[in-house]
Amino acid sequence: MYNEELTQFRAETVAWLEANCPQSQRQPIVRDQQIWGGRRRVFPSAEAQQWFEACRDKGYTAPEWPSEYGGGGLSSAQAKVLQQEMARMRCRPPLYCQGLWMLGPALLVYGNEAQKREHLGAICRGEIRWAQGYSEPSAGSDLANLKTKAEDCGDHFLVNGTKIWTTKADEADWIFCLVRTSDTTPKQAGISFLLIDMETEGVSTSPIPLISGESEFCQTFFDSVKVPKANLVGELNGGWAVAKELLKHERKMMAAFEGMLEKPAMELLELAQHAVGVDDSGALADDELRSDIARHLMRETAMGQLGERIYRQGKAKQSDPRLPLLMKYLGTSEAQTKDELILRALGDEGLSMDDPTVSLGLRKMVKQWAFNKSLTIAGGTSEVQLNIIAKRALGMPSAEGKS
């Protein structure tokens, strides 16, 4: 797309955002204001609903998906303009959903026409909330070791087994699952990818509490669950290819996940200045903390530039497939570094998640620190990411695990 057309598109986008995004939706997102959609969807306010519906009707819940499936049909350059303008105006993301971040992009590649028509539109419209059924008690990093079995029963599969760490499965309407459909082939060649309605008889969930005091995820059980054959995505025993495509998108999302979380009222440096004070020259009073914050901000800037480089290479059709492999590891490690710096700056006030004498804002930051410990585990652990980088980006021999 020519620069002039993009300039025109930017002007139209700004005008559309000005007209459709209420002021209340131009604030940093707060966790209990996120819209996750689904059959039991709730809206935190009338203006949040209005903003969601405006985006839904314009296709901006999934700006780059084709418009015939409910997306915005934007080119990657246009989607980037939209993203930039939304960030500049601090517009909240209209919809949070694993269907949007993970399943949809994989269905666009591997789904048949009927599956795309049934599921993509419902995701964009926030009608169906999805959960991810990959991990099992003995299959996390070693995902291909999964045992949940789907037996071929003519017109349907009969699914038995259990999935663990399934985020918000108790609130989900459907779950995408990796299941074993053959025991006689090498592990990865006996896996299929199934879509399962959580309301089907025999599906149940049990919440698992976290150190943050919340319960983000569940164990999900399948007890003789009948799944129509039409819900098989890709080839029978060809699920590993679908799984890997989906993981690519999950890791991309995880690399940027920190940006989707609730934001502290102050930026890191401002917060540290507030908590630790400044010296006569106006610099942060704690030298060591100042150097560590500077190092973190430099790495954050470098990561932003790496992201820009990957985007530009893609646009020029000159992608270096090694670079995206770095992003999950770098993005999640840096998010945790930032949390540690926040806690150091907070001092004694960073010691409790639930001390009522400490302000709610500070307690939330400590909770965020605890929750963000999971970023280097979910979607493939950092150790496994390093194995992948060693092997695929650097050409070294390694054992990959959940790759």
Ligand X SMILES: Cc1cc2nc3c(=O)[nH]c(=O)nc-3n(C[C@H](O)[C@H](O)[C@H](O)COP(=O)(O)OP(=O)(O)OC[C@H]3O[C@@H](n4cnc5c(N)ncnc54)[C@H](O)[C@@H]3O)c2cc1C
Interface with ligand X (CB under 6 A): 131-135, 140-141, 163, 165-167, 216-217, 374, 377-381, 383-384, 387, 399, 401-402
CB of 332 to ligand X, least distance (A): 11
Least Å from the CB of residue 326 to ligand X: 17
CB atoms < 10 A from the CB of 296, how many? 17
CB of 103 to ligand X, least distance (A): 12
Q: Name which of 310 and 370 has its Cβ closer to ligand X.
A: 370
Choice between 38 and 59, CB closer to ligand X: 38
CB of 296 to ligand X, least distance (A): 23
* Residue facing ligand X at closest CB distance: 140
- Residue 36 main-chain phi, psi, to 5 deg: -100, -10
Query: In the complex with ligand X, which residue's Cβ is closer, 17 or 378?
Result: 378
Unique residue bearing structure tokens 């020519």: 2
Q: How far is the CB of 200 from ligand X (least distance, A)?
A: 18
Write down the least CB distance from residue 133 to ligand X, Å: 6
CB atoms within 10 A of CB 74: 21
Closest separation between CB of residue 143 and ligand X, Å? 7
Nearer to ligand X, 164 or 275 (CB): 164
> Can you tell me the distance from the alpha carbon of 35 to that of 48, in angstroms, rounded to the nearest whole number?
8
171 Cβ contact partners less than 8 Å away, ≥ 6 residues apart: 36, 38, 40, 129
Residue 59 beta carbon to ligand X: minimum distance, rounded to whole angstroms: 26
**Comparison of 242 and 358: residue with beta carbon closer to ligand X:** 242
Name which of 11 and 399 has its Cβ closer to ligand X.
399
DSSP of 254-317, one letter per residue? HHTGGGGSPPPSS-HHHHHHHHH-B-TTSSBS-HHHHHHHHHHHHHHHHHHHHHHHHHHHHHTT
Pick between residue 141 and residue 337 the one whose CB is nearest to ligand X: 141
Kindly give, in sequence order, each residue whose CB lies less than 8 Å from that of residue 379, ignoring residues fewer than 6 positions away: 247, 250, 251, 253, 254, 328
> What is the spatial distance between Cα 230 and Cα 195, in angstroms, rounded to a whole number?
9
Q: In one letter, which amino acid is 382? A: S
Closest contact distance (angstroms) between CB of 211 and ligand X is 11
**Smaller CB separation from ligand X, 78 or 219:** 219
CA distances from 226 to 150, 240, 267 (A): 9, 22, 50
Cα separation of 338 and 341, whole Å? 5
Both tokens of residue 152? Answer: 């071929």
Q: Which of 175, 195, 189, 188 is nearest to 133 (CA)?
A: 175
> Rounded to the nearest 10 degrees, what angle do helices 76-88 and 287-315 cross at?
150
- Cβ distance to ligand X smaller for residue 81 or 175: 175
